[in-house]
Amino acid sequence: GPIAFIALAAPQIAQRLQRARATSPLTAAWTGALLLLAADYAAQHLFYPRQLPVGVVTICIGGLYLLWLLLRQTGGAKP
């Protein structure tokens, strides 16, 4: 589901944060945990008193991340 996207995005985000060719599994795991924690917190508190499913927030985060990657790859946005 949408939460599984974090497993795909976390290593890529960790790699870019470290500015390294590769990242350790531990760093990717911590990045994924922090992403899921932030998404869960946002899902519970962003539209208080209503709560969103955490999957909706991870889809939004993932969509924005993929859009940023595409723009960066095509030269539409400078890093």
8 A C-beta contact, residue 5 and residue 58: yes
pLDDT given at position 76: 60
pLDDT along the chain (79 residues), means of 10: 81 84 89 92 90 88 80 69
Q: Residue 40: its pLDDT value, please?
A: 92
In whole angstroms, what is the distance from residue 65 CA to residue 31 CA?
Answer: 14
Q: Which residues contact 42 (CB under 8 A, 6 or more apart)?
A: 57
The whole-number pLDDT of residue 19 equals 84
Would you state the pLDDT for residue 78?
58
Domain boundaries, the chain: 2-74
